[in-house]
Copies of this chain bind each other. A is one copy, B any other.
Amino acid sequence: MKAKLGAKNCLYPMPTTLVGATVKGKPTFITIAHVGIMGLGSVSLGMNKMHYTNAGIAENRTFSVNIPSAELVKETDYCGLVSGKSVDKAALFEVFYGELKTAPMIKECPINMECRLIQTLDFPRNDVFIGEIVETYCAEDCLSDGVVDFSKVQPILFSVNDKGYWRLGDRFAEAWSIGKGLKKS
């Protein structure tokens, strides 16, 4: 039997990210798990208009998406609990820059993507920032044969339904392969 839950978003779990931007000349970070993939080269961020970081993304048209590992869960959660208006969240981390000079990235996060803003959607409560990825950095100990290995990255997966952070489990099947047996000959 199915229960009707009303218009409840259940597109979870989603990868939890720390989004970086420059606001008033300084780096700041905000925890965002309402993210998305538009295409292979682009990402979206659904960010509440109340966040301090939004103005910096709009002004500089750049941002970073940093993927923290599970061992950074306290810092990651903290960055969603306090505002950059009153707290220097960049002080928690070692910050570095790549090609874009206004997209601060977090060295402690195994994956960093620097992005150029290409479009902004105006949602009732959210600015939705869509960015083109310019360069991606990955900790060398999170690669296997040159490919990002998420069992090493240990991303933090988020579900709003239970307000929880979840670990990634095992890789259990090959995409574009495991379903071949159902093809009619």
Find the B residue at minimum CB distance from A181: B74
Find the B residue at minimum CB distance from A155: B13
Shortest CB–CB separation between residue A163 and chain B, in angstroms? 5
List of B residues within 8 angstroms of A17 by Cβ: 11
Binds B, one of A21-29, A53-61, A169-177: A169-177
Interchain CA distance A148-B107 in the complex, whole Å: 35
A185 within 8 A of B: no
The interface centre, meaning the residue of A82, A155, A171 with most chain B CB atoms within 10 A of its CB, is A171
Known: A46-B38, A113-B9. A171 touches B162 (CB 8 A): yes
Find the B residue at minimum CB distance from A109: B2
Taking a contact as CB atoms closer than 8 A, the residue among B11, B155, B177, B179 that contacts A75 in the complex is: B179
Contact, CB under 8 Å: A15 / B15: no
A167 within 8 A of B: yes
List of B residues within 8 angstroms of A44 by Cβ: 36, 38, 44
Show 12 A/B contacts (Cβ-Cβ < 8 Å), sorted by A. Answer: A3-B137, A3-B143, A6-B136, A11-B113, A12-B155, A74-B178, A74-B181, A77-B177, A81-B179, A150-B159, A157-B157, A164-B173
List of B residues within 8 angstroms of A50 by Cβ: none
Interchain CA distance A65-B171 in the complex, whole Å: 23
Known A77-B173, A79-B179; further 12 A-B contacts with Cβ < 8 A? A7-B135, A11-B15, A11-B43, A34-B36, A35-B36, A36-B36, A38-B44, A75-B179, A80-B176, A92-B182, A164-B173, A165-B171
